[in-house]
């Protein structure tokens, strides 16, 4: 149980285009999902927290107009990188929160490798 998928697993795009990444919880419902970014040899950096049916909460320094997050259902959150530039090239990872009594855990997707040319 607690499987999270991401699509696509990798994407290459031209500078200036927009890219959408999907995050799905396959066997559970997630009111809260998280989006992270990871540069080579660095740790995960939380970008934003996505709550179903409401606006995402962005971390300091993350441009909300550039990284659009939509969490329209309990099993799907999307991250759209608008007007992508080479510096946006990174490994994007989502997670979904599972709450069952005192158990409160995040389960992660396999990640999406974005390369902007």
Binding site for another protein (CB under 8 A): 2, 4, 6, 32, 34, 36, 42-46, 49, 51, 57, 91, 93, 95, 97, 104-111, 113
Residue 54: both structure tokens together? 């409401």
Q: Report the nearest approach of another protein to the CB of residue 6 (Å).
A: 8
| 3-state secondary structure (DSSP) of residue 50 | strand
With vertex at residue 16, the alpha carbon angle to CA 38 and CA 90, rounded to the nearest 5 degrees, is: 10
> Which CB atom, from 66 or from 113, has the smaller least distance to another protein?
113
Name the residue nearer to another protein (CB basis): 2 or 68. Answer: 2
- CA quadruple 82, 63, 28, 11: dihedral sign: positive
Min CB(109)–another protein separation in Å: 5
């Amino acid at each position: 149980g607690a499987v999270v998928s991401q699509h696509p697993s990798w994407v290459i795009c031209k500078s200036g285009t927009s890219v959408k990444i999907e995050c799905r919880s396959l066997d559970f419902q997630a009111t809260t999902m998280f989006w992270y970014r990871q540069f080579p040899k660095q740790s995960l950096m939380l970008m934003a927290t996505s709550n179903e049916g409401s606006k995402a909460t962005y971390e300091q320094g993350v441009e909300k107009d550039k990284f659009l997050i939509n969490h329209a259902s309990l099993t799907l959150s999307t991250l759209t990188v608008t007007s992508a530039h080479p510096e946006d090239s990174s490994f994007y990872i989502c997670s979904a929160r599972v709450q069952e009594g005192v158990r409160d855990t995040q389960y992660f997707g396999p990640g999406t490798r974005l390369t902007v040319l």
